[in-house]
Amino acid sequence: MTRAAHHQASAGIHRRKDARYIGITLAAAALSAAALTACSGAAPKIPDAPLDPAQPSTSSQPGSTPSPSDSDPDAALKKVVLDTYERMWDEQVKAYAKGSIKGTELRSYAAGYALAEAETTMDTFQEKGVVTKGAPTHDAVVTGLKPDEKVPWASLTDCLDTANWKYVYEKTGKPVEMPKDQVLKYVTKVQAEKWGNSWKIVEVQASATSC
């Protein structure tokens, strides 16, 4: 992630003598690869376009509606990946609301860089006394899927909307002042891997691109 994209994806706590930024998404608290001990092997680069786009069916009769399995043989697997991403966000929202991943199931759905970034963000939240109210919304699609790799993986693209995800100081309830030019609805690239029998979200990359 470029320095500009990192700052665009993050939110700042502005105090008179403290201009440091607090990340508002998993990707906003991103650490360099050198600073992390990866929990998995090197993840493939997140593609910008589908690797295996579904092709229109040419065997359907006029007027017939193909089932999801007919139009996309990977539909069921994609749903599992999307459900994992949805559950990761459910648990992350719980963690952000109290400034800690303790008591959540975030580790069941996030791993690798994604989990490390969440833990780092929670450390910052606790230091600053910040929690969140509300929740973001998103519209994710699976853009790449390789279930036959040694470590099966999938890539997703999400349009993350953080407009209703508010940051407040826990003790006072006062809102955290955010950058005026902050993009609240932006494209996020996501990487998932299958570890054993479970899919995990291992990387989340916010971008400066609005959606």
Digit-coded pLDDT (tens) for 148-193: 999 999 999 999 999 999 999 999 999 999 888 889 999 999 999 9
Give the pLDDT confidence score for residue 144 in this predicted structure. Answer: 97
Residue 63 belongs to some domain of the structure: no
Residue 184 belongs to some domain of the structure: yes
- The string of pLDDT tens digits covering residues 66-115 is 555 568 899 999 999 999 999 999 999 999 999 999 999 999 999 999 99
75-98 helix and 112-128 helix, angle to the nearest 10 degrees? 20
Residue 101 belongs to some domain of the structure: yes
Residue 175 belongs to some domain of the structure: yes
Range of the domain at 100: 3-38+78-210
Residue 99 belongs to some domain of the structure: yes
Per the CB < 8 A criterion, the answer to whether 192 and 153 are in contact is: yes
> Which residue in 14, 9, 5, 57 sits closest to 178, CA to CA?
14
- Give the chain's domain count: 1
Residue 49 belongs to some domain of the structure: no
Residue 59 belongs to some domain of the structure: no
Measured CA distances, 194 to 10, 110, 131, 169 (Å): 28, 11, 31, 37
Residue 183 belongs to some domain of the structure: yes
- CATH code, domain with 202: 3.10.450
